[in-house]
Structures are given as structure tokens and as C-alpha cells.
């Protein structure tokens, strides 16, 4: 009889991938380029420098390098919570009464509570390496802000988080976790930026939105003193950093002597 797959399969520390996989290198049809809102033309790497730190701007534009080495300092921090387990959803299979074997990669078992740490760590690392005075970001529910706060704390990098005001008021404990990691957390819209002041002038009770918090964080970065903006979803670089989830899963599948017919991933970064 075939050996029953374990409920949770852990790779060893040595089996953690040492390079991220850049999916775009293998895409026959490359994604449409990002447009510079000022010119309507495709952005260059240099166009991104006012907003992002250099290495991350480079990764953002890199359509060609298939594997990008994970810096040893990042790998070291990854080891605090990686590899993450590949779990077999035996109970779900039973509940669905399906012959399918369902596996899922569990990314929640780290202090920040989500997969967002996978990109927060390299983003904080490259910003610190460039000698920035700090980074800014936005957070909605708070997972990204928490992950980034943890990563910035680890690398000794100041962080200012614009947190959607409705969430800021609903989730005081999220805010407290970020503050415990040393981040400064501002309810957005705030009166500390032009974008925030304009929104508050229109409606002082505006509960905020991700768009508004992004505007405030970007404004602070571009007008700040050697401060850049970082973002936990949407970007190519985030997809690159999150490839560690798929790379570990592929290795675990190999050990199980399985090959997936279908792979599903969540949409958000
Ligand atoms: C651009 C952007 N910023 C912030 C968030 C909110 O993340 P969180 O709920 O972890 O704060 C998201 C969610 O996907 C997002 O796409």
C-alpha cells in the first residue's frame, strides 16, 4: 500500500531555496510595461528611483533574469519561520467526498501571522543596505504593516505606516503590534500630508481607504529626507519574493512523489 502522506511536510533548513524565481523571464508574452503618469510613456528603472530603493527598482524592471539570489542576510531571517509546511487537507477531502488530493502551503506560522513577511524582509533589507533613513507604507487590515514592522525592526530601519483610519480604530491591537516593533503608525487620512489634508477638508469624518493611505505614504516618501516607499502586493518584486512559497512547494511535492494537476494561489500579494 502506498505510504500515507504526512499531514504536514516540512523541508529541512538546508532545503530552503537560495534564489527566487522570476516568472517573467519565462513568459513568452511579457506583461504590458508600467506607464509613467507624467509622460504616458513606459517607465525606466531610473524613473522609479524617487519612490523605490535602487535594487527593488531593478528587480521591478527585470524581465530576463530567471533566478535571483536571495541575499544571505535575508535567508538567515527567513530561517526564523521557514520552511513553511506543505499540509494535506485530509478533512477537507473527506468533507468534499472527493478523490482529489488537496495540499495547501501554510504561511501563517510566523510572528507577523501571514505570508507578507516573505517580501517585507527583502524590501527592508535592500532599503537598509542602500543607507535609507527609513521607509513608508500603507496598511489596510494590518497584515502588511505588521510584517514590514517586524522586518524593519530586525534590520534597524525606521518605518512610518499609514493605516486606513477605519481599521486603525477597529483594530487597536494590530496598531499596538506595529508600535511594539518600533513603527510609527498614522491614521489615514491624516493632516500630516497634502493628500490627507485635502481629503479631510472635503470630509473630516472620511474613514480612509487604501488609495488614500497609499497617496499619503508615497507623498511622504518622495518629499522626505532619504526615505522611500515600499508595498506588499501588486508589484513584480513582490511576486518574485513570494516565489519562495512555490519553490518550497515544488520541492515538497517532489519528496512526496506527487505532481499537481491544478495549482491555485490567492490573488493578493
Ligand atoms: C496595495 C495594497 N496595500 C495594502 C493592502 C492591505 O494589506 P493589509 O490588509 O495586510 O494591510 C493591500 C491588500 O492586498 C494592497 O493590495
Distance from Cα 211 to the centre of ligand 1, integer Å: 10
Confidence band (pLDDT; 50, 70, 90) for 27?
Answer: very high
Name the residue at shortest CA distance from atom 1 of ligand 1: 233
- pLDDT at residue number 23: 95
Higher-pLDDT residue of 235, 224: 235
Distance from Cα 234 to the centre of ligand 1, integer Å: 9
113 lines ligand 1 (CB under 6 A): no
142 lines ligand 1 (CB under 6 A): yes
Structure confidence by residue, pLDDT tens digits, 175-206: 999 999 999 999 999 999 999 999 999 999 99
Distance from Cα 115 to the centre of ligand 1, integer Å: 12
Distance CA 204, CA 213 (A): 15
| 20: CB partners within 8 A, 6+ apart | 67, 68, 70, 240, 241, 243, 244, 247
164 lines ligand 1 (CB under 6 A): no
- pLDDT at residue number 93: 97
- pLDDT at residue number 4: 86
- pLDDT at residue number 105: 95
- pLDDT at residue number 265: 84
3-state secondary structure of 60: helix
Average pLDDT (23-45) is 93
Structure confidence by residue, pLDDT tens digits, 148-182: 999 999 999 999 999 999 999 999 999 999 999 99
Distance CA 171, CA 169 (A): 6
Confidence band (pLDDT; 50, 70, 90) for 224?
Answer: confident
Confidence band (pLDDT; 50, 70, 90) for 92?
Answer: very high
Name the residue at shortest CA distance from atom 2 of ligand 1: 233
Distance from Cα 70 to the centre of ligand 1, integer Å: 24
- pLDDT at residue number 3: 76
Ligand 1, closest atom to CA 164?
Answer: 11
- pLDDT at residue number 268: 61
Whether the per-residue pLDDT at 26 is higher than 90: the answer is: yes
- pLDDT at residue number 16: 97
Confidence band (pLDDT; 50, 70, 90) for 267?
Answer: low
231 lines ligand 1 (CB under 6 A): yes
Whether the per-residue pLDDT at 269 is higher than 70: the answer is: no
Best residue among 119, 138, 150, 162 to mutate for probing ligand 1, ranked by most atoms within 8 Å of CB: 138
User: Rounded mean pLDDT of the chain?
Assistant: 95
CA atoms within 13 A on the CB side of 65: 13
The pTM for the full model equals 0.95
Burial letters 212-221, b for 16+ CB under 10 A, else e: bbbbbbbbbb
Count Cβ atoms within 10 A of the Cβ of residue 106 and give its class: 0-12 exposed, 13-18 middle, 19 or more buried: exposed
- pLDDT at residue number 1: 53
268 lines ligand 1 (CB under 6 A): yes
27 lines ligand 1 (CB under 6 A): no
Domains of the chain, each with CATH number or no CATH: 131-229 (3.40.50.1100)
Average pLDDT (218-225) is 92
Name the residue at shortest CA distance from atom 15 of ligand 1: 233
Average pLDDT (32-39) is 91
| 46: CB partners within 8 A, 6+ apart | 57
Distance from Cα 188 to the centre of ligand 1, integer Å: 14
Amino acid at each position: 500500500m502506498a505510504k500515507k502522506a504526512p499531514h504536514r511536510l516540512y523541508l529541512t533548513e538546508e532545503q530552503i531555496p537560495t534564489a527566487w524565481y522570476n516568472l517573467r523571464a519565462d513568459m513568452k508574452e511579457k506583461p504590458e510595461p508600467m506607464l509613467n503618469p507624467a509622460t504616458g510613456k513606459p517607465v525606466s528603472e531610473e524613473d522609479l528611483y524617487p519612490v523605490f530603493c535602487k535594487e527593488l527598482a531593478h528587480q521591478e524592471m527585470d524581465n530576463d533574469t530567471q533566478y535571483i539570489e536571495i541575499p544571505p542576510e535575508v535567508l538567515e531571517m527567513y530561517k526564523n519561520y521557514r520552511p513553511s509546511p506543505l499540509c494535506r487537507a485530509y478533512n477537507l477531502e473527506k468533507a468534499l467526498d472527493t478523490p482529489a488530493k488537496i495540499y495547501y502551503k501554510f504561511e501563517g506560522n510566523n510572528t507577523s501571522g501571514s505570508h507578507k513577511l516573505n517580501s517585507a524582509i527583502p524590501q527592508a533589507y535592500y532599503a537598509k543596505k542602500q543607507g535609507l533613513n527609513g521607509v513608508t507604507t500603507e496598511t489596510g487590515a494590518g497584515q502588511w504593516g505588521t510584517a514590514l514592522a517586524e522586518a524593519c525592526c530586525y534590520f534597524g530601519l525606521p518605518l512610518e505606516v499609514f493605516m486606513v483610519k477605519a481599521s486603525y480604530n477597529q483594530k487597536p491591537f494590530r496598531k499596538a503590534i506595529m508600535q511594539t516593533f518600533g513603527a510609527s503608525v498614522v491614521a489615514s487620512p491624516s493632516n500630516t500630508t497634502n493628500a490627507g489634508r485635502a481629503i479631510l477638508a472635503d470630509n473630516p469624518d472620511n474613514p480612509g481607504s487604501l488609495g488614500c493611505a497609499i497617496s499619503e505614504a508615497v507623498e511622504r516618501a518622495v518629499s522626505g529626507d532619504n526615505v522611500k516607499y515600499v508595498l506588499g502586493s501588486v508589484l513584480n518584486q513582490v511576486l518574485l519574493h513570494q516565489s519562495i512559497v512555490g519553490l518550497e512547494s515544488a520541492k515538497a511535492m517532489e519528496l512526496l512523489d506527487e505532481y499537481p494537476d491544478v495549482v491555485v494561489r490567492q490573488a493578493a500579494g
